[in-house]
Structure 1
């Protein structure tokens, strides 16, 4: 792996670690939705191991594959995270860092809290599937989870505060270089923090902790939505005025993971409200919401694909010698589409009894999402080879 990039480093390299973490979580989705866990909101070791022992050969094979995927990509996530932290510390000592802090690119620093939030999710998954009886101490762990995500959230707010203060005071935002949706990495980060903060709301049995989780998660989710409106308007305005910046064309797909994360945040918050505050949410409501968000993802996915294909982005910036740190932005949409596809199939179709689980039609509907996951893994390893292991 390349080392000591110095001024050539970019905070967008954190997206490589983010992608690996997302792929680890994506394999957890198989266990989450296919292994029964009626007594807990998420699947745990105490569900997986008995089901594995009693399952048929194909079920044992699928569980084994999921566990291998979780461990493999979690390991890659940690390795890439350590590499990024080391390279970022060196980058901070260069004049290029000062230049970044005084340009539009300063917003790329939000890739750091985004990736750190994913790290907590990765370790949460590892603990759930590999540590027996971990669920019995969940109420001890949830306060630490909230504190961890809040610390990352405060770090993200500090980055945004410095960024917007500079823009408001100096009025030096360069609209001619804003012709992409790359600045929406900030919304992505806030959404990731919100979904992490929403987890105790869906899983805790302590009403006060649930209320705290609801409030802080809603705060970051609302902030993400407000900024998303602003960034979409400004981004599309500058794209239409100046044309899409080719090297950032992959940012057209950033709406896909944002929709996934905000959708999961809503599901978690709804679970907490239903459990503690005597409200009811019918499965059909999840079907309607997830269908709407999935539609938005498909729209941006198709538009983005057509534009990137026309610009030769896949040829030059994914498969070619122009591949760089921003190219890793393509991993998250693939992960997000697969993850939200799993939510769509299981909460939207299986829970509403439209499609029986493990039926032929169930696997047929699931197949496109599995293919997206497989293609994302292929792209991830291809980019690692071209970008991080280049001579």
Structure 2
């Protein structure tokens, strides 16, 4: 008789939606190569025609970058969608179990927000795939923006229903929220989800030429962005108090760096809004303003990357849950900070330093800073591949001998 096999992911948690999120985020890191290295006059982002023109006229280094970028986008978007579909199926089955009811009546109810977070990332990833691989897409883009906003609107409804259920339960009656188990930044997941939806809504603000579309994108993304910021501040403040009293929950240690992706998505949202205000409503900010803003954003990220690294090292988290044999669905929260830091570094270098004239594009300083972004990207790729192997590879079930 064959030995029965199982895998850690069979013990389902909504946090596995972060596996889909991380893969989708990696597709964005590869798009940064095209965004900042492929000329794209006439629109704010490169499209298929720009990429093909750059390939035809480019040197071998640029051609290699284009191949790597397109392959990376294709691979990680497929992985993103595959993981999302698996999660939706597993989540549907999970809802029929007693474990789901237990989760809905605990602090961990907020982990359900990983679903709208992953859904919003997939919409963003699919838009990138359209830009990169679909010819003539830009000719119908004004019709796509309202459709994308409807999709993000539906995801926002789902997110706020889940947030409403959670806050309605814990704030309407005392004693149902375990403050002693609030010793991590796990409760910032709803803020991250709302921020991801906000950055999706902000895309038409930067890319559309229709004033009504731009205004709607500006207003809705601002409302969602402000809500995300308020939620982040309140949840983080109360969590720090609990961590100081009880220490950081070991399996939730990676959440200490969740501020990093929140800062990236909100930072991109503000940049998109600023571009829309400039091109459509004659609002102007200088390159120096953008450099200052991005420097402040990346400073926050460095602070929380450092905090997370210190705590995770003290807890021996990597040795146990990444390099060792132990598994925790929360380990996927490690991917997002490195993805987000990589993306923000690209923006800091190109929209900040280069645009302000602080460094020359493609000079020594430029590649030195860009190398930091690429190193963070490589770490994120290694984490995704390692964690997928840990959590989704089948293992033989070892029989426990009778006493």
Q: TM-score normalized by structure 1?
A: 0.98
**What CA distance in whole angstroms lies between the structure 2 residues aligned with 1:388 and 1:177?**
28
- Superposed displacement of residue 368, structure 1: 1.6
CA distance in 1, matches of 2:389, 2:222: 39
Change (3 A) 1:341 1:299: same
What's the CA shift string for 1:364-385, capped at 9, x where partnerless? 1111221111111111101110
Residue 107 of structure 1 is matched in structure 2 by 110
Question: Deviation of residue 323 (structure 1)?
Answer: 2.2
Which residue is 1:66 aligned to?
Answer: 69
Structure 2 CA distance, aligned partners of 1:302 and 1:167? 32
| Counterpart check, 1:367 vs 2:352 | no
50, 54, 57: which is aligned to 2:53? 50
Deviation at 1:360, TM superposition (A): 2.0
- Per-residue CA deviation, residues 145-184 of structure 1 (Å, 9 max, x unaligned), is 1100011001000000111111122321100111000111
In structure 2, how many angstroms separate the alpha carbons of the residues matched to 1:109 and 1:388?
20
Per-residue CA deviation, residues 307-327 of structure 1 (Å, 9 max, x unaligned), is 111110111111112222100
Alignment of 1:186-205 (within 5 A): 186-205=190-209
Deviation string, structure 1 residues 325-364 (Cα, Å, up to 9, x no partner): 1000000001000000000000011111211211122111
Aligned to 1:298: 302
- Report whether the alignment pairs 1:135 with 2:134: no
Asked if the contact 2:8/2:327 (under 8 Å) is kept, the reply is no
- Residue 367 (structure 2) pairs with residue 383 (structure 1): no
Instruction: Indicate the residue corresponding to 1:95 in structure 2.
Output: 98
List gaps (5 residues or longer) in structure 1.
none
The 5 Å alignment of 1:152-167 reads 152-167=155-170
Give the equivalent residue in structure 1 for 2:399: none
* CA radius of gyration, larger in: 2
Asked if structure 2 preserves the Cα contact closer than 8 Å seen for 1:341 and 1:369, the reply is yes
Q: How big is the shift at 1:390?
A: 4.0
1:1-32 superposed Cα distances (whole Å, 9 cap, x missing partner) = 968966x2100000001000000111001100
CA distance in 1, matches of 2:161, 2:249: 28
SS of 1:353's partner is coil
State how far apart, in whole Å, the 1-side matches of 2:90 and 2:357 are: 50
Give the aligned CA root-mean-square deviation in angstroms.
Answer: 1.3
Aligned residues of 1:33 and 1:346 also touching (Cα < 8 A): yes
- Give the Cα separation in 1 of the matches to 2:6 and 2:342: 30
Of 312, 320, 324, the residue aligned with 1:320 is 324
1:287 aligns with 2:291: yes
SS at match of 2:80: helix
Whole-Å separation in 2 of the counterparts to 1:200 and 1:369? 26
Secondary structure at 1:279 match in 2:
coil
Query: How does the TM-score come out when normalised to structure 2?
Result: 0.95
Question: Are 2:13 and 1:13 aligned?
Answer: no
Q: How many residues align?
A: 390
| Aligned mates of 2:125, 2:356 — CA distance in 1 | 29
* Residue 389 of structure 1: how far off its partner (Å): 1.3
5+ residue gaps, structure 2: 396-403
User: Given that residues 257 and 333 in structure 1 are in contact (C-alpha distance below 8 angstroms), is that contact kept between their aligned partners in structure 2?
Assistant: yes
Q: In 1, distance between residues paired with 2:394 and 2:368?
A: 39
Contact kept? 2:322, 2:331, Cα under 8 Å = yes
Residue pairs, 1:177-326, within 5 angstroms = 177-326=181-330
Mapped partners of 1:107, 1:335: distance in 2: 23
Q: Distance in 1 between matches of 2:359 and 2:333?
A: 33
Aligned partner (choices 337, 342, 347) of residue 343 of structure 1: 347
Alignment counterpart, residue 176 of structure 1, candidates 173, 180, 196: 180
TM superposition shift of 1:222: 0.7
1:191-216 residue CA offsets vs partner (Å, 9 max, x unmatched): 00000000001111111111111111
Question: Contact 2:7 / 2:391 at 8 angstroms: preserved in 1?
Answer: no
